[in-house]
Amino acid sequence: MIAVLQRVQQSKVVIEGKTVGKIESGLNILIGVYKNDNKIDVEFLAKKISSFRIFPDKNHNMNLSIQDVNGSALVISQFTLCADWRNGNRPGFPLAAKPGKANELYELFINELESYGIIVQSGRFGSMMDVYILNDGPVTFVLNSKEK
């Protein structure tokens, strides 16, 4: 499982002109699910993200977690993170999970984050979405559950 974390001042996701998820200070999290991912990958990333110290303390050092700052998370599924781009000029997705499994693990990831006391908003799995992000920093990290 792969996650792109962006520290944001605010973020929202709009589908067909309607805002379906919106946060203020927190994390915009793009999630890609690989076909070999499972519950262990979900639990690992949720735990890591909930305690990942990427928010500034009073001395402007990255020393606080999303839990420490009472931040929220906007979680959006993005299968394109699982692209294989090595051959040719068009990406392929042979490593991405099938939609049923990907949606199941995506929903489980949201539930796991909530179990750490994080308020989570989300996009709609499989939908075309307009994502608005006001980066803070910018501060962006890519975490892969297979790189433990």
Mean pLDDT for each 10-residue chunk of the chain (148 residues)?
A: 98 97 98 98 98 98 98 97 93 96 98 98 95 97 94
Q: What are phi and psi of 81, to 5 degrees?
A: -65, -20
pLDDT at 120: 99
Catalytic residue, candidates 52, 55, 79, 109: 79
Query: Which residues touch 144 (CB under 8 Å, ≥6 apart)?
Result: 1, 2, 3
pLDDT at 38: 98
CATH says 2-144 is which class?
A: alpha beta
Catalytic residue, candidates 6, 52, 55, 78: 78
Tokens matching residue 74: 């906007």
Q: Is 19 a catalytic residue?
A: no
pLDDT at 148: 79
Domain edges within the chain:
2-144
Residue among 41, 36, 125, 33 at smallest CA distance from 82: 33
pLDDT at 30: 98
pLDDT at 138: 96
Catalytic residue, candidates 80, 109, 125, 141: 80
- Judge whether 13 and 20 are in contact, CB under 8 Å: yes
Q: Is 80 a catalytic residue?
A: yes
The pTM for the full model equals 0.95
In order of 90, 98, 100, 101, 115, the CA distances from 27 in angstroms are: 30, 26, 25, 24, 16
Q: Is 78 a catalytic residue?
A: yes
